[in-house]
Amino acid sequence: MRGVLLAAFAAAALQAGGANAAETPQRIAVAGSGLTEIVVALGAGDRLVGVDTTSLFPERVRRLPQLGYLRAIAAEGVLSLKPDMLLASEDAGPPAVLAQLASAGLRIVRAQEGYDPEAVVRRVAHVGEAIGRPEAARALEGEIAADLARVHAAVPRGNPPRVLFLLAAGAGAPLVAGRETAAAAMIEYAGGRNAIDGYRGYKPLSAEGAVEAAPDLVLTTDTTVRALGGMDAVRALPAFGTLAATKKLRFAEIDPVYMLGFGPRIAHAVRELARILHPDAALPELPERAWLKADR
Amino acid sequence: MTHRVEPAVAALLAASLLAALCVGPLNLPAESVGRVLARLAGLPVEADDRAIAVVSALRLPRAVLAALVGAGLGVGGAVMQGLFRNALADPGILGISGGASLGAVSAIYFGAASFGIWAMPFAGFAGGLLATNVVSRLARTEGRMPVAALLLSGIAVNAFAMAMMGMLVYSSDDRQLRDITVWLLGSLSGASWQRVTLVAPAVALALAALPFLARALDALILGEREAANLGVRVERVKRLAIAVVAMATGAVVSVAGPIGFVGLVVPHVVRLAAGAGHRRLLPLSAGAGAALLAGADTLARVVVAPAELPVGLVTAAIGAPFFALLLLREKARLGA
């Protein structure tokens, strides 16, 4: 009953959208920052009608209606934007709401996650197909793959520095990235080794654990530095004070939306991180791609 | 003045439900909502497809679910406060909320959510019943359940449930962690007729038991021995009260998450308006709880549209200041 009614609604909406609305969506809602970047990079940014709160790049998407947090989108809220497609990352939810939207007849295209650069290329193809811009997608795939190949060839592989990724989430102790995180994946691609191998996901920093991990570099985010009260406060954390007394310890801060977004800017992000990890290595200059600009 | 409380609560509930049906991120004129409702009632009225879809599949089940959840929490709080003769009792006092939350969080942790939308509510409901069962066994001595022992067992079980949840939160991955956090804020998002059918029987049974409880809870105000002297079978009343609250709260928490504040405060507000007699207090708490939650959920759906707030935040944010205001007004009387 419910499904029939919602499908009727969707059919009415589709008729209003024009004859070939089913093939080429004109009003796209997106839940997932990497997907948002891909849609804009494919030149379809003006078809976006709403994005989730993790979508922060390029700057124009911040002015769009906000669907709320990726894992907690609202059924009627999404429908109120009258989208003809919802592009949702694997992380988007909750499942009950996605089920309601699907039974409302809304086309939902799910994109696979996966913390590897090749997955980004596949996602570009998938999104290009879904939004009716396959040629633009092939061009973008080619550019990303070429940039990735150049960076990959130049990243030094011998003697990888041990990198500890620190992230402050709210109050509490800052968290450290373990296995199977975006941070760990990026560190590997940029020719480093994630200093923590003993757990997956993020766990609170223990001073002794950090000492045992013996990082050469502490990587953190701009928001973490702000939350902890400046880079000097990060350096002064007990764990790092102890470490710095016994070995050379470097600190660097990154923009997590850029570095951990696994969107079209992946090759440039890997290069940027490789430059931080290997300051002396000769890395190729990558072309200034159009989709790098924040003000598109 | 107090005799006008019932019509006032009924009017409030009607207004909240009406608002829940007419207001939303999708802009539907009240007139077309009215047409849909008339159509659903079987009247031969034309209504536009979009309005039918939105009202009957999204807003109506959600409004009904909000009302059921609010009624369950309101009644649960009133019964527990009566049973414990303690103004700080709430529906979660017997470990029910803790157990239900642990059940639902375990479901998220062990990936049961992928077994369908029923997995989490069932895990939550089972957790709540299990917790209540443990609490009553812990508290039972020689066939009796002294209130103090119940209270302490509840505290122990709640603490244990919190600790287990902490363990799950600690060892969960990034994605599970975010799901758990969102769930613990309490939300009616994803409301559907299936969820309504899950909660409705439990809340209906709880409401049906109220007439059997009201007189006994009134007598219990005097103390257990006095109540027994008045002919109240105290232990039976306790068992019934616990069963009623466990069922209603377990069902409610398992579909909506631990929504705080409603169960604690609604009975107080009702008591200030209508007095402490349970014959009126219990049904009024149900009605007022339903009205509060339906209204709060309407706000939750629209204030940050097209996104939505967890309703637990809204109930606390509007309820707490309202309660403080009431306290200020009634302080003189309370002190007397």
The 10s digit of each residue's pLDDT in A66-87 is 999 988 899 999 999 999 999 9
CATH number at residue B261: 1.10.3470.10
Q: Which carries the bigger pLDDT value, residue A193 or residue A105?
A: A193
The 10 Å Cβ neighbour count of residue B137 is: 10
Distance of alpha carbon B53 from alpha carbon A43, whole angstroms: 33
Out of A79, A95, A200, name the one closest to residue B26 (CB): A79
Sequence length of chain A is 296
Q: Which residues in chain A (75-134) have CB-CB distances under 8 A to chain B?
A: 75-81, 91, 93-97, 99-100, 103-104
Helix/strand/coil (H/E/C) assignment for every residue in chain B: CHHHHHHHHHHHHHHHHHHHHHCCCCCCCHHHHHHHHHHHCCCCCCCCHHHHHHHHHHHHHHHHHHHHHHHHHHHHHHHHHHHHCCCCCCHHHHCHHHHHHHHHHHHHHCCHHHHCCCHHHHHHHHHHHHHHHHHHHHHCECCECCHHHHHHHHHHHHHHHHHHHHHHHHHCCHHHHHHHHHHHCCCCCCCCHHHHHHHHHHHHHHHHHHHHHHHHHHHHCCCHHHHHHCCCCHHHHHHHHHHHHHHHHHHHHHHHCCCCCHHHHHHHHHHHHHCCCHHHHHHHHHHHHHHHHHHHHHHHHHCCCCCCCCHHHHHHHHHHHHHHHHHHHHHHHHHC
Q: Quick: pLDDT tens for B272-305.
A: 889 989 999 999 999 999 999 999 999 999 998 8
Which residue in the set A6, A71, A181 is minimally distant from B53, CB to CB? A6
Q: Cα separation of A266 and A38, whole Å? A: 11
B306 in a domain, yes or no?
yes
Q: Which residues of A touch B56 (CB under 8 A)?
A: 2, 5
Q: How far is A76 from chain B (nearest CA, A)?
A: 6
Nearest beta carbon to residue A202 from set B57, B174, B187 = B174
Report whether the peptide linkage leading into residue B306 is cis, meaning its omega lies within 30 degrees of zero: yes
Which residues, at least 6 apart from B137, have a Cβ–Cβ distance to it below 8 Å? none
- The single-letter DSSP state of residue A52 is -
**Confidence label for A56 from pLDDT (cuts 50, 70 and 90):** very high
3-state class (DSSP) for residue A168: coil
pLDDT value of position B47: 85
* A277 and A161 Cβ atoms separated by less than 8 Å: yes
Summarised one tens digit per residue, pLDDT across range B206-251 is 999 999 999 999 999 888 899 999 999 999 999 999 998 998 999 9
So what's the pLDDT on residue A254?
94
B116 φ, ψ (degrees, to nearest 5): 115, 170
Report d(CA A153, CA B257) in Å as an integer.
50
Mean pLDDT of chain A: 88
Is B172 a domain residue? yes
Report CB contact under 8 Å: A72, B59.
Answer: no
The whole-number pLDDT of residue B172 equals 81
Q: Let me know if residue B288 belongs to a domain.
A: yes
Predicted pLDDT of residue A12: 47
Which residue is closest to A182 within chain B, CA to CA? B174
Task: Give yes or no for residue B321 having a pLDDT over 90.
Answer: no
**Residue at B98 is within a domain:** yes
Range with the lowest mean pLDDT among A48-57, A203-212, B36-45?
Answer: A203-212
Residues of B in contact with A93 (CB under 8 A): 179
SS3 A86: strand
Q: With an 8 Å Cβ cutoff, are A50 and B306 in contact?
A: yes
pLDDT digit string, tens, across residues B132-191? 999 999 999 888 888 889 999 999 999 999 999 999 988 887 778 888 888 888 999 888
Residue A21 confidence (pLDDT): 43
| Global model pTM greater than 0.90 | no
The region of weakest confidence among A12-26, A33-47, A121-135, B250-264 is: A12-26
CA distance A80 to A103: 16
Strands A250-254 and A85-89: unpaired
Residue B299 lies inside a defined structural domain of this protein = yes
Give the integer Cα–Cα distance in Å for B314 and A166.
33
Q: What is the mean pLDDT of residues B258-270?
A: 90
Strand (E) or helix (H) holding A182: helix A182-189
Question: Using a CB-CB distance cutoff of 8 angstroms, which residues of chain A are in contact with residue B25?
Answer: 74, 76-77, 79-80
* Nearest CB partner across the interface for A77, out of B25, B50, B59: B25
Residues of A in contact with B182 (CB under 8 A): 69, 71-72, 94
Enter the ipTM: 0.78
Which residue in B50, B177, B190 is closest to A12 by CB distance? B50
Can you tell me the distance from the alpha carbon of B218 to that of B322, in angstroms, rounded to the nearest whole number? 27
Instruction: Work out the pLDDT band at A227, boundaries 50, 70, 90.
Output: confident
The b/e string for B220-248 (b: 16+ C-beta within 10 A; e otherwise) is beeebeebeeeebebeebbebbbbbbbbb
Report the pLDDT averaged over residues A197-205: 84
- Name the closest residue on chain A to residue B60, using Cα atoms: A2
Non-local CB neighbours of B11 within 8 Å, separated by 6+ positions: none
Question: Nearest to residue A23, comparing CAs of A135, A103, A132, A127?
Answer: A132
| Tens-place pLDDT, residues B2-32 | 678 999 999 999 999 999 999 999 888 999 9
Q: Residue A43: which of A181, A137, A107, A175 has the closest Cα?
A: A137
Residue B27 lies in a domain: yes
Q: Which residue matches tokens 């339903």?
A: B290
Domain range spanning residue B327?
2-80+90-335
**Would you state the pLDDT for residue A5?**
52
**Do B54 and A76 touch, CB atoms closer than 8 A?**
yes
A89/A114 Cα distance (integer angstroms): 10
Query: Shortest CB distance from A8 goes to which of B24, B53, B301?
Result: B53
Element (H, E) at A142: helix A134-154
Q: Which of B78-87, B106-115, B178-187 has the lowest mean pLDDT?
A: B106-115
Closest residue of chain B to A4, computed from CA coordinates: B53
Does position A111 have pLDDT exceeding 80, yes or no? yes
Q: Is it the case that residue A152 has pLDDT exceeding 80?
A: yes
- Beta-strand runs (E) in chain A: 28-31, 48-51, 85-89, 107-111, 162-167, 175-177, 193-194, 202-204, 217-221, 250-254
In a domain, B85, yes or no: no
Contact between residue B294 and residue B74 where contact means Cβ atoms under 8 Å apart: no
The pLDDT score that the predictor gives to residue B285 is 96
Per the CB < 8 A criterion, the answer to whether A42 and B267 are in contact is no
B-interface mutation test, from A80, A181, A206, most B Cβ less than 10 A away: A80
Tell how strand A250-254 and strand A217-221 pair up. Answer: parallel
**Residues sharing a CB contact under 8 Å with residue A132, sequence separation 6 or more, in sequence order:** A23, A24, A25
- In three-state secondary structure terms, A56 is coil
Find out whether A31 and A87 touch, Cβ atoms under 8 Å.
Answer: yes
- Predicted pLDDT of residue A202: 85
Interface test with chain A among B33, B50, B302, B311, by most A beta carbons within 10 Å? B50
**Is the separation of the CB atoms in B91 and B80 below 8 Å?**
yes
pLDDT digits (tens, 9 = 90+) for A276-296: 999 999 999 999 998 898 887
Q: Which residues of B touch A17 (CB under 8 A)?
A: none
Residue B305 has a pLDDT of: 85
For chain B, how many structural domains are there in total?
A: 1
Size of chain B in residues? 336
